[in-house]
Amino acid sequence: MPFIPHTEADTDAMLDTIGVAGIDDLFEEIPGELRLGALEGIPGALTESEVGRLMRRRAARDEMALNFLGAGAYEHHIPAAVWELATRGEFYSAYTPYQAEASQGTLQVIYEYQTMMASLTGLDVSNASHYDGASALAEAVLMAVRCNRRSKSRRVLVPRALHPHYRAVLETITSTQGIDLVDLPYDPSGGQTDTGALGDHAGEDITAVVISQPNVFGVLEPVDEMTDWAADNGALAVGVVNPVALGLLKPPGEWGREGASIACGEGQPLGVPLSSGGPYFGFLTCRQALVRQLPGRLVGRTVDVDGKPGFTLTLQAREQHIRRSRATSNICTNQGLMVTAATIYMSLLGPEGLRRVAARCHARTAALAAGAQSVGGVSVAFASPRFHELALRLPAPAKEVLGRLRAQGILGGVDLGSWYPELGDAVLVCATETKTGQDIHRYVEALRGAIGGIGDGP
Amino acid sequence: MSEPLVFELGRSGRLAGAQVPEAGRAVDLPPDMLRDSRPQLPEVSELDAVRHYTRLSQRNFSIDTQFYPLGSCTMKYNPRGCNTYAMLPGFLQRHPLAPEDVSQGFLACMYELQRMLCRVTGMTAFSLTPMAGAQGELSGVAMIRAYHLDRGDTERTEILVPDAAHGTNPATAVKCGFTVRELPTAADGDLDFEALRRLAGPRTAGIMLTNPSTLGLFERRIREVQEIIHGAGGLLYYDGANLNAILGKVLPGDMGFDVIHINLHKTFSTPHGGGGPGSGAVGVGERLAPFLPTPFVGIGPDGYRWVDAADHPKSIGRLSAFMGNAGVLLRAYIYMRMLGRRGMERVADHAVLNANYVMVRLAAAGFDLAYPERRACHEFVVTLKRQAREYGLTAINLAKALLDREFHAPTTYFPLLVPECLLIEPTETESKETLDRFVDAMAEILAEAQVDPERCRQAPVKMPVRRLDEVRAARKPDLRYRP
Amino acid sequence: MSDIPENLKYTRDHEWIAETGDGTAAVGITDHAQEALGDLVFVELPEMHRDVETGDVCAVVESVKAASDVYSPVAGNISEVNLALDDSPELVNADPYGEGWLFRLTPASPADLEELLDAQAYQRVLAEMDE
């Protein structure tokens, strides 16, 4: 049997020690009418070689030559060392570091991670991570509601230009908590959040304002103005940021006069492969004063009985295994393995490397924008500064154009039609540092061909 | 030897050159949007980083290096093949928003995984999107809430949770807007039925149960629980944390459960990764199917397809930016295919065999069982109340003494209702020799504590650090390095 | 054996309360409670000027392994909190009836204090728990 080491002699000896005749006797406390005869509908076992053949065939079916999709998951170069190290058995198959003395490796990695993320976001404290960016935002909003005791409304302003999936997750997780999510529209020509609409809420009791940098269109938001508005109106500013962009962009802790109070986002760009959407990790950082309301695991540095430095999980009384129904969150897990990968990634890139990767992404997207606009009828939807993504308006049905690009092995963008019908035929495209000038040229020419082809009929 | 922090290894201006693009032209963004401060990231060479993180890995226990008899965690072997084939380039490079026509390989795996999970639980539909057990619980309880509200039944504000339950149960119920009513445990380890009958009523939205319970005991009167709860109009939630004990033996659906989450990182052996990622796939019977979280995989005329909110209007909604921890799900899928039907039936057999074997041997070695008259399922509880009182061998002292003998400690001080307890779960992938060595180590510690109680109070002495000052860590939290 | 001063009033949840002579009463946790919790690492204090009912949760005391709610022994209005505990929660361990007080309140009805346990009655509560 796979992965079960017992020989017949072992089993017999063990049954003998227990004092029963057969394994079945060990299940005697389960009422007979509940006992299953045999499992139905499960296929027979495959050897590793057989399952390998099956999986290789399936993986190969989904391979695409060239990917220009972003929208919350980004293709970056991942140094080979990152996953060579992260999948070492000592990281990969370790448990949560509750036994600190036997988990100093994982604990130190998390402490280093917390240091890096706090600094990258310009805030004081980072937790040990959450499931993904969207769920981290939900936790950040719940945290903001707990922290802002002056506000009684539980009303949170959420830009329409926040990734719609993030908005949906926020809705699912906060809907049972009596939290009122209020839309902030975006400017139809610039694509950034309409600060005029923000002004309409002046004088109201607003608990928190979500600020996405960049927003779903890749457009850079007026973060200073939005953060100051929040401060002036008694609301907490919650930043949702792309961590690679922070190699280049002003971090949430430095937005406006006082900075955002809480920052969160998707950690995937930091060394985690696209892998169909997960496992990724969400980061969550905050000001020191809010640390007791920060959900999730935290690692602290302390000393052992001999005075030697060491690391341990700390402030655990906030968590569900102690606080039970009064915990800051029901969440138990952090994405430890992904955090290990991200910490190694950030170590290999360093401040200069991360800045250069961010700058290269930005330059590639600028080249893509210029090229795409050379195609007749194609225009850039929003004329505002952007990071590494942009919305393109197409002169032909987006679905059809994308299908034609796909036939050439190119994932040519995310159709924005279902998320933002008001944009008409528009696609969201992304070029990271992994795209060469030649790749971009190939994309532009394929786009030209696809649009021309539709004009000419099938 | 301490390992320095990676920041302390760095030197200003040092770069892992092969990983970094050439410096490009100046960035054409408004200066007020750019960063002035330099983030505190290390400046190390690639070799520095590789050595540092390799050395850190060596300061960990792991399944690949040690036995983890860790109750309620099911720390079984994580087959390497699952990792290798989940990390094929076609899977790693697949973008989550890649259209269905170029995703049939991945979707086929997910669809088949959903079907297999239905088969091993007796549920009719599964969603794979919850990213950990607690999120599976959240979606399950949210579905119970949605179900009652959909029927116009707004009075059901309470969830019943046994006092032995994992802390995530009550925390989740509260997060879903419910009040928690705690159910006591009877002396024999089963639920207190008198209390259950008293608490179940028109305000009961549902009950959250783990069966076998966190005490390692099968709730024998589970059908009676079903009659009481369903009779009161509530629903039954199955916390699948202990599914390993009954895999292929009993279907939670047959026990009367309406909704279940499975910790794939336990029963289906995906790696714990030092604290995650996990996966908390959630399954439902007919009644709750309309509320299942999206997206999940269905079949259409053109092959496998995503079922999204638009096709599933009563769904409790989306829980993750994309579709959950896909890479974890692939590992679970591969594991299940390698086990096959017969292999799955053998999992519970040998998990329960191993647990009962260790239990009988530890009892013979002088340890007190919390429920000596009961059969263990895949785990069991030892109480050190007597040893703690007589010679200071508390659960924590024993745990630390085990570390010095190269065994990970069992779960300690959980469930909370048994004093000085150890929750021990060997899993089916451990051999008799390993179990024998573990029992011998436990017996040795017991003997040592009787003659030299101070020694186990001092343990561990062979780990990279000795016992840490947790009070200092919590009073003056040092959560980041400042040079 | 834990210390139970004669001049204080007690609750079954291990709070003590003492009239201060200026119309307010000081509240803390008993020596037994601090002993059971172990080294405190954090004390969450109530908001000033909050009205509380008997049995309301108005503070939380945390050790490394446990968090315990502190209930108001009587109804009243919070008039002062012990800010020294923000930096030095260990005062509760060192001097639970003195420098480790948690908050003061103005009782809605000073007679309510008379309803609480005296030292002998609290001693009996602890003895029952031991059995």
Contact with chain C for residue A326, Cβ under 8 A: yes
Contact with chain C for residue B476, Cβ under 8 A: no
- CA–CA min distance B476, chain C (Å): 9
* Contact indicator for A71, A166 with CB cutoff of 8 Å: no
CA nearest C63 in A: which residue? A317
* Closest by Cα among A158, A56, A199, C98 to B109: A56
**Rounded distance, CA A328 to CA B57, Å?**
31
**Rounded distance, CA B133 to CA A110, Å?**
21
Confidence of residue A316 (pLDDT cuts 50, 70, 90): confident
Give me the residue from A59, A93, A278 closest to B131, CB to CB: A278
Contact with chain C for residue A61, Cβ under 8 A: no
- CA–CA min distance B411, chain A (Å): 9
Instruction: Taking residues B235-255, report their average pLDDT.
Output: 96
- CA–CA min distance C67, chain A (Å): 6
Contact with chain B for residue C66, Cβ under 8 A: no
Contact with chain B for residue A374, Cβ under 8 A: no
Percent of chain B with pLDDT over 70: 100
Contact with chain B for residue A3, Cβ under 8 A: yes
Instruction: Give residue A455's pLDDT.
Output: 66
Instruction: Taking residues A380-407, report their average pLDDT.
Output: 97
The reply to whether C1 falls in a domain is no
* CATH number of this structure's domain B81-338: 3.40.640.10
Instruction: Taking residues B434-463, report their average pLDDT.
Output: 97
**Rounded distance, CA B32 to CA A294, Å?**
30
Asked if the model's pLDDT at residue C131 lies above 90, the reply is: no
Q: How many CB pairs under 8 A join B and C?
A: 14
Computed from CA positions of residues A447, A452, A453, A454, in that sequence, does the dihedral angle turn out positive or negative? positive
- CA–CA min distance A126, chain C (Å): 20
DSSP label of A13: H
Element (H, E) at A299: strand A299-303
Cβ contact, residue pair B63, A99, below 8 Å = no
For chain B, the structural domain boundaries read 6-57, 81-338, 346-458
- Best A288, A313, A323, A324 member to test C by mutation, with max C CBs in 10 Å, is A323
- CB count within 10 Å of CB B7 equals 19
Question: What domains appear along chain A, each with residue ranges and CATH number?
Answer: 66-75+351-455 (3.90.1150.10), 80-344 (3.40.640.10)
Cβ contact, residue pair A317, C63, below 8 Å = yes
Instruction: Give residue C67's pLDDT.
Output: 86
Asked if the model's pLDDT at residue A326 lies above 80, the reply is: no
Contact with chain C for residue A321, Cβ under 8 A: no
Element (H, E) at B197: helix B193-199
- CA–CA min distance C63, chain B (Å): 8
CATH of B346-458, one of 1.10.3470.10, 3.40.50.2300, 3.60.15.10, 3.90.1150.10: 3.90.1150.10
**Rounded distance, CA A355 to CA B35, Å?**
10
Domain span at C122: 9-126
Contact with chain C for residue A152, Cβ under 8 A: no
Instruction: Taking residues A310-332, report their average pLDDT.
Output: 81
* Closest by Cα among A174, A294, A157 to A212: A157
Asked if the model's pLDDT at residue C1 lies above 90, the reply is: no
Identity at B409, one-letter amino acid code = A
User: Within the 265-304 window of chain A, which residues sit less than 8 Å (CB to CB) from chain B?
Assistant: 266, 273-281, 291, 297-304
Instruction: Taking residues A149-157, report their average pLDDT.
Output: 95
pLDDT in tens, A206-232: 999 999 999 999 999 999 999 999 999
Beta-strand (E) ranges in B118-203? 125-127, 158-162, 179-183
- CA–CA min distance B301, chain A (Å): 18
Q: Which residues of chain B are within 8 Å of residue C64 when distances are taken between CB atoms? A: 470-471, 474
Q: Residue C76's beta-bridge partner residues?
A: C52, C107
Confidence of residue A456 (pLDDT cuts 50, 70, 90): low
Segment among A249-263, A312-326, B302-316, C53-67 with least mean pLDDT:
A312-326
Q: Give residue B197's region: left, alpha or beta (phi > 0; psi -120 to 50).
A: alpha
DSSP label of C27: E
Asked if the model's pLDDT at residue C86 lies above 80, the reply is: yes
Percent of chain B with pLDDT over 90: 95
* Closest by Cα among A144, A100, A136 to A117: A136
- Best B421, B467, B475, B478 member to test C by mutation, with max C CBs in 10 Å, is B475
The reply to whether C131 falls in a domain is no
Instruction: Taking residues A377-396, report their average pLDDT.
Output: 96
- Best C42, C62, C87 member to test A by mutation, with max A CBs in 10 Å, is C62
Cβ contact, residue pair A83, B87, below 8 Å = yes
- CA–CA min distance C113, chain B (Å): 31
Rounded to whole angstroms, what are the CA distances from A400 to A217, A407, A437?
Answer: 21, 11, 25
Quote the ipTM score.
0.97
How many domains are contained in chain C? 1
Asked if the model's pLDDT at residue C124 lies above 60, the reply is: yes
CA nearest B351 in A: which residue? A4
Instruction: Taking residues A277-299, report their average pLDDT.
Output: 95
User: Within the 316-335 window of chain A, which residues sit less than 8 Å (CB to CB) from chain B?
Assistant: 317, 319-327, 329-335
pLDDT in tens, B132-150: 999 999 999 999 999 999 9
Cβ contact, residue pair C90, B475, below 8 Å = yes
pLDDT in tens, C56-75: 999 999 988 888 999 999 99
Identity at B242, one-letter amino acid code = N
Confidence of residue C129 (pLDDT cuts 50, 70, 90): confident
DSSP label of B208: E
pLDDT in tens, B76-112: 999 999 999 999 999 999 999 999 999 999 999 999 9
- Best C34, C40, C41 member to test B by mutation, with max B CBs in 10 Å, is C41
- Best B46, B53, B102, B334 member to test A by mutation, with max A CBs in 10 Å, is B53
CA nearest A435 in B: which residue? B21
- Best C64, C70, C71, C86 member to test A by mutation, with max A CBs in 10 Å, is C64
CA nearest B474 in C: which residue? C41
The reply to whether C3 falls in a domain is no
Residues 6+ apart with CB under 8 A from B105: A57, A58, A59, A60, A61, A62, B90
Identity at B395, one-letter amino acid code = A
Contact with chain A for residue C65, Cβ under 8 A: yes
What is the average pLDDT value for chain C, to the nearest integer?
A: 92
Contact with chain C for residue A289, Cβ under 8 A: no
Q: Which residues of chain C are within 8 Å of residue B478 when distances are taken between CB atoms? A: none
Neighbours of chain A (3+ CB pairs under 8 A): B, C
- CA–CA min distance C65, chain A (Å): 6
* Closest by Cα among A76, A382, A393, A354 to A220: A382
Asked if the model's pLDDT at residue B7 lies above 80, the reply is: yes
Q: Where are the alpha helices (DSSP H) in B26-94?
A: 46-57, 80-86, 89-92
Asked if the model's pLDDT at residue A72 lies above 80, the reply is: yes
- Please provide the DSSP assignment of A233-293 as one string: TT-EEEEEE-TTGGGTBPPGGGSTTT--SEEEEE-TTTT---GGG-S--EEEEE-GGGGGG
Instruction: Taking residues A46-74, report their average pLDDT.
Output: 96
Computed from CA positions of residues A345, A350, A351, A356, in that sequence, does the dihedral angle turn out positive or negative? negative
Percent of chain C with pLDDT over 70: 98
- CA–CA min distance C41, chain A (Å): 9
Q: Which residues of chain B are within 8 Å of residue C130 when distances are taken between CB atoms? A: none
Q: Which residues of chain C are within 8 Å of residue B171 when distances are taken between CB atoms? A: none
* Contact indicator for B120, A39 with CB cutoff of 8 Å: yes
Q: Which residues of chain A are within 8 Å of residue C41 when distances are taken between CB atoms? A: 317
For strands A414-415 and A282-286, give the pairing.
unpaired
* Contact indicator for A415, A389 with CB cutoff of 8 Å: no
Q: Which residues of chain C are within 8 Å of residue A292 when distances are taken between CB atoms? A: 42, 44
Tokens 């920060």 belong to residue: A294
Q: How many residues does chain C have?
A: 131
The reply to whether C2 falls in a domain is no
Instruction: Give residue A458's pLDDT.
Output: 47
pLDDT in tens, A339-365: 999 999 999 999 999 999 999 999 999
Q: Which residues of chain C are within 8 Å of residue B471 when distances are taken between CB atoms? A: 39, 41, 63-64
Tokens 């969207």 belong to residue: A134
Instruction: Give residue C65's pLDDT.
Output: 80
pLDDT in tens, B342-360: 999 999 999 999 999 999 9
**Rounded distance, CA C76 to CA C56, Å?**
10
Cβ contact, residue pair C41, B475, below 8 Å = yes
Give me the residue from B413, B470, B474 closest to C42, CB to CB: B474
Neighbours of chain B (3+ CB pairs under 8 A): A, C
Contact with chain C for residue B321, Cβ under 8 A: no
